[in-house]
Structure 1
């Protein structure tokens, strides 16, 4: 009886030891997998699910397959009559890529559209899109990108659209867009940008829309915009901008939409814009605006100004008439304050208010 009990105990102990050993092996494998993942950027094989549609053309829907090895090739079965050269779009939304597999542009060299949003990507390198010389649209929004190497887009001269919004960028290299002479839309909003190099947008002479909103920009640099003659839409809302420099937008003869709400503006000078026959919409709400130069509306075709939650005016003002009667009435206090500002008294009032608020704090 005692012998049976000892045997039973030893058997259970052996099973327990096996379980413990299996658990240790599992932990070790998991640890190694995590480290391989962090080193390679992704672990496993890349597979494509091929689709064909009128909207996107022949598409590779990218999928990261967990595996013991990392291949330099893409797996997947083409649709009948199709080859790698027929692929026009690559998308890989919600994949845990970390780094962009260079093999995308090594294999699908005729790709025109790449959409890798929400893939936990942390960095864009010189090799990320090397080989995609026909690339027109690149979407990398909602990732964790903190760094983009200077020559990342050097081999993509056909780019017309770049979307980098909702990442963790604090700045960009000065020559990043040096070869993007056809770029029309650039979205780098919802990042952590404080400042940018002087020449960052110098080559973007075809740019029509730029979105710099929801960053941490305290001041605008005249050099950023000096070559953007064809710009139509400029979005600067949700930053920390306090002033619009003299002449900063005067050369933008095609500017139609201007958004700078939720900043720290106090005065709108006409000398920042000059003559703007195309400007139609100005969103200025949620600033601290106390004065506006009346020439700002007389020298433009602006038909809608949003002034909600400012000091000298409140509300959305729409006026399509040439004489701007409604705007003159609604913004009368702003215009009067501007005249006082130019004469001197309002300046002293603003200074006194600043000093008083600092004392109270």
Structure 2
């Protein structure tokens, strides 16, 4: 795929550091595997791809995560793919993205998370899968994330909680594992392919009730009300 960026400098209230941002305003879907082949856009004077630390894609229909983004933006710290119908996520999407600290995937159609999906993004601090269709998360998925501070799985059919670091980071990982065991019990992963899809052996029945509010929000195509919710996460 090719991405078309609008670049801007943002001064958020919660930090003293300016953010130099790529807002994706268009996508040309050349290949089906999500590989980014080119990124178009004009930087303001004095700026370049190396200055981009934040990338946001909102309401552009893509099933695959844009792969190899960090080949173009080597200093990315934050990636947000919001309300895009995203279905697939793989560890290969993050090759070269060891510096990523924040990953927001709210309002998509992701159903499962591969156990090794964050292998190449080991410095993640904030992860959000708010309002997807996740019905299973393997217990080991966060094991390599030593900097993790916040995880959000709210409003998913099989999992509905968020965890925030209080005190030692090791306690957060332990709390997450306890919650995942409680949610999924003896369900086991028996396979994971290159696209991040999985096969499961079910030791118990899937949770069947999907919140009406989540369904309505997805059918509403992420209107401004939902966008405001995402901005608060």
- Please indicate the TM-score interval, normalised by the length of the shorter structure: 0.5 to 0.7
Return 5+ residue gaps in structure 2 as ranges: 13-17, 160-168, 187-206, 208-233
SS at match of 2:94: coil
- Greater Rg by CA: 1
Deviations 1:174-219 (A, max 9, x none): 332121111111111211226xxxxxxxxx61639x799xx9x768
> Counterparts of 1:65 and 1:93 in 2: how far apart (Å)?
11
Q: Which has the higher strand share?
A: 2
Is the CA contact 1:184–1:206 (under 8 Å) kept in the aligned structure 2?
Answer: no
Partner of 1:62: 24
Is the counterpart of residue 156 in structure 1 residue 121 in structure 2? yes
| Greater length-normalized contact order (CA 8 Å, ≥ 6 residues apart) | 2
What TM-score does the superposition give when structure 2 sets the normalisation length? 0.62
Q: Which of these residues, 117, 122, 127, is aligned with residue 92 of structure 2?
A: 127
Report SS of the residue matched to 2:141: coil
Aligned residues: 166
Deviations 1:5-59 (A, max 9, x none): xxxxxxxxxxxxxxxxxxxxxxxxxxxxxxxxxxxxxxx6311111111226110
Q: 1:187 is matched with which residue?
A: 152
Quick one: distance in 2 between partners of 1:171 and 1:188? 11
Contact 1:64 1:97 (C-alpha < 8 Å) held by counterparts = no
Distance (whole Å) between structure 2 residues aligned to residue 66 and residue 78 of structure 1? 20
Residue aligning to 1:166: 131
Query: How many Å apart are 1:90 and its aligned residue?
Result: 0.4
2:92–2:120 CA contact under 8 A, matched in 1: no
Query: TM-score under structure 1 normalisation?
Result: 0.41
Aligned to 2:141: 176
1:60 offset after TM fit, Å? 0.6
Q: What is the deviation of 1:118?
A: 0.7
Conserved? CA contact 2:67–2:93, under 8 Å: yes
1:139 equivalent to 2:104? Answer yes
Higher share in helix: 1
Is the Cα–Cα contact under 8 Å of residues 91 and 120 in structure 2 kept in the other structure? no
Structure 2 CA distance for partners of 1:92 and 1:206, relative to 1, 3 Å: farther
Quick one: which of 178, 201, 207 aligns to 2:172? 207
RMSD over equivalenced CA pairs, Å: 3.0
CA apart distance, 1:147: 2.7
The within-5 A match list for 1:107-118 is 107-118=72-83
- Which runs of 5 or more residues in structure 1 are unaligned? 1-43, 195-203, 222-239, 241-361
Q: Secondary structure at the match of 1:205?
A: helix
Is residue 94–residue 117 contact of structure 1 (8 Å, CA) maintained in 2?
yes
Q: CA deviation at 1:96?
A: 1.0
Counterpart of 2:6 in structure 1 is 49
Alpha-carbon distance between aligned partners in 1 of 2:176 and 2:56, rounded to the nearest angstrom: 23
1:211-250 equivalence runs, <5 A = none
Provide the secondary structure at the position in 2 that maps to 1:146. Answer: coil
